[in-house]
């Protein structure tokens, strides 16, 4: 390896280290701004709770409780779409339909969905494979800098929409709005 190549690789390595330090030590803002939940069929589910709650200075927690009337849930399909606000919300980066049962068994095959799931699983009861025998609960879910460091997100406002189908019938949707402000321009 030539000395020029070693020098270039050393500069690249230090560039990555500096970027990581700046991102981990920045005054980043990554928080929920709104949540909207819709249950299409009241005979199947009822929304007991769908709200954001201020937990502390600059910390916003998401709370959701969907009471399911027809249990067990044996199969679920979810359309996961990410939007970014440009004169209204426009599709951005990711739009996929997932068989949730298959995803929970083979998470590494779906990197973006796995990133979203990693953020949700510690705050919810959605941490096992099917069948589901209970209501869907997300309690005081907060966003943190570790989540955004793994996501390819720029400064801006985002919407993540989950549209859910069970037993071949569309049952409801959840739209989660978030603000990302890294304190610096990432790209």
pLDDT digits (tens, 9 = 90+) for 11-34: 555 544 444 444 444 455 788 999
pTM for the complete prediction? 0.79
Kind of pairing between the strands at 59-68 and 45-56: antiparallel
Q: What is the CA radius of gyration of the chain?
A: 19
Report how far Cα 94 is from the mean position of its chain's Cα atoms: 11
Helices (H), 63-181: 100-105, 111-121, 145-150
**What's the pLDDT band for 187 if we cut at 50, 70, 90?**
very low
Residues 6+ apart with CB under 8 A from 164: 76, 77, 78, 170, 171, 172, 173, 174
Strand order in the sheet with 59-68: 45-56, 59-68, 136-141
Express each pLDDT in 19-73 by its tens digit: 444 444 445 578 899 999 999 989 999 999 999 999 988 789 999 999 999 999 9
27-181: CATH topology is: Ganglioside M2 Activator Protein; Chain: A, (2.70.220)
């Amino acid at each position: 390896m030539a000395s020029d190549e070693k020098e270039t690789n050393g500069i690249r390595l230090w560039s990555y280290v500096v970027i990581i330090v700046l991102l981990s030590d920045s005054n980043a803002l990554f928080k929920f701004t709104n949540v909207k939940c819709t249950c299409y069929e009241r005979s199947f589910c009822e929304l007991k709770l769908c709200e954001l709650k201020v937990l502390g200075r600059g910390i916003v927690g998401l709370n959701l409780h969907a009471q399911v009337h027809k249990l067990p849930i044996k199969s679920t399909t979810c359309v996961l779409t990410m939007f970014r606000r440009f004169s209204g919300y426009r599709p951005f980066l990711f739009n996929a339909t997932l068989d949730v049962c298959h995803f929970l068994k083979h998470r590494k095959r779906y990197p973006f969905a796995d990133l979203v799931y990693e953020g949700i699983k510690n705050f919810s009861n959605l941490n096992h494979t099917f069948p589901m025998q209970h209501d869907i609960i997300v309690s005081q879910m907060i966003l943190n800098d570790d989540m955004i460091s793994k996501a390819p997100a720029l400064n801006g406002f985002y919407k993540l929409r989950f549209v859910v189908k069970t037993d071949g019938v569309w049952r409801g949707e959840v739209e989660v709005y978030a603000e990302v402000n890294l304190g610096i321009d990432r790209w």
